[in-house]
């Protein structure tokens, strides 16, 4: 939607993009809407587009195929919401290193590599912004790999829950987004059944509760179980 049309309708499709450089880039892209469960980026494809998330959430993951090509194992790297971008690591023309799927209905501004190059020439701060985001994600990937190697499943689950949870103002910490057991399992590298069993134990011990289909950390989680 062009800015003029947005102004006339009284809505701003780019409202969630608060960084001025990223917003200027997003406004030059093509706004597209996706249904829940849509594969936006397929691992291994050659990429020449960047996606700025305007609404909804996108999950970045990698999968290993089974004997018939089925995706029987998945590892989730991150979930990105409004104001964030995905796909920038493939703008060098190389293959996509991960897949991206919509967790819920989403709207994105899709920017081509040519448009990105033009915008960087106009606004060098945009390059610094994208580089800093790539570095931050590389650090998170390193921390995740270290956790996989040094922590047991329970330790990885605790670390992930503590990273997701935010203070809700009542002395408790709440995971703001709906997170399924399957998604947690793919994020920490274990089975869904293992996550379900651990959360059931933590709930029974009074450490965790579920309210409005969201996890709430009632008190500090024990370091071991």
Check: CB of residue 95 under 8 Å from CB of residue 45. Answer: yes
CA quadruple 180, 186, 189, 192: dihedral sign: positive
Nearest CA among 139, 144, 21, 145 for reference residue 85: 21
pLDDT confidence of residue 47: 79
Which residues have CB under 8 Å from 82's CB, separation 6+? 16, 17, 53, 54, 55, 56
Distance CA 84, CA 18 (A): 10
Taking the CA atoms of 7, 9, 10 and 13 in sequence, report the sign of the dihedral they define.
negative
Instruction: Identify the helix (H) or strand (E) that includes residue 188.
Output: helix 181-188
Q: State the DSSP string of 15-63.
A: TT--SHHHHHHHTTSEEEEE-TT-EEE-TTSB--EEEEEEES-EEEEEE
pLDDT score at 5: 39
> Is the distance from CB of 194 to CB of 181 less than 8 angstroms?
no
Q: What pLDDT score was predicted for residue 144?
A: 66
Q: What is the CA radius of gyration of the chain?
A: 19
DSSP code, position 103 = S
Contacts of 65 (CB under 8 A, 6+ apart): 71, 72
- Residues 170 and 172: their CA atoms lie apart, in Å, by 5
* Domains along the chain with CATH numbers: 3-149 (2.60.120.10), 152-217 (1.10.10.10)
Measured in degrees and rounded to the nearest 5, phi and psi for residue 24 equal: -60, -35
pLDDT tens string for the chain (225 positions)?
444 334 334 589 999 999 999 999 999 999 999 999 999 999 888 878 999 999 999 988 887 654 444 445 677 788 889 999 998 876 677 788 889 999 899 999 999 999 999 999 999 999 999 988 888 877 776 776 666 666 788 988 888 888 888 887 777 888 887 888 988 887 787 888 999 999 999 999 999 999 888 899 988 888 877
Chain centroid to Cα 139, Å, comes to 15
Q: What is the pLDDT of residue 64?
A: 64
What was the pLDDT predicted at 147? 62
Task: Establish how many alpha carbons lie within 13 A of residue 204's alpha carbon, considering only the half-sphere containing its beta carbon.
Answer: 7
Structure confidence by residue, pLDDT tens digits, 53-73: 999 999 888 876 544 444 456
User: Which residue's structure tokens are 């790999």?
Assistant: 145
Which tokens hold the place of 32?
A: 């597209």
């Amino acid at each position: 939607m062009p800015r003029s049309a947005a102004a006339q309708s009284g809505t701003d499709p780019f409202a969630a993009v608060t960084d001025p450089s990223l917003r200027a880039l997003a406004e030059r892209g093509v706004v597209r809407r996706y249904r829940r469960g849509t594969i936006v980026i397929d691992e291994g494809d050659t990429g020449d587009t960047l996606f700025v998330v305007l609404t909804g959430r996108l999950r970045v993951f990698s999968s290993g195929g089974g004997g018939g090509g089925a995706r029987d194992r998945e590892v989730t790297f991150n979930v990105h919401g409004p104001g964030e971008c995905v796909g920038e690591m493939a703008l060098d023309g190389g293959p996509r290193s991960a897949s991206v799927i919509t967790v819920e209905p989403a709207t994105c501004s899709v920017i081509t590599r040519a448009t990105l190059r033009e915008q960087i020439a106009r606004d060098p701060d945009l390059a610094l912004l994208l580089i800093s985001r790539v570095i931050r994600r590389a650090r998170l990937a390193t921390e995740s790999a270290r956790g996989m190697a040094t922590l047991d499943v329970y330790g990885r689950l605790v670390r992930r829950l503590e990273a997701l949870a935010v203070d809700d103002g009542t002395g408790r910490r709440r995971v703001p987004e709906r997170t399924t057991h399957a998604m947690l399992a793919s994020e920490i590298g274990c089975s869904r059944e293992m996550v379900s069993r651990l959360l059931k134990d933590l709930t029974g011990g009074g450490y965790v509760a579920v309210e409005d289909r969201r996890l709430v950390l009632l008190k500090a989680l024990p370091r071991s179980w």
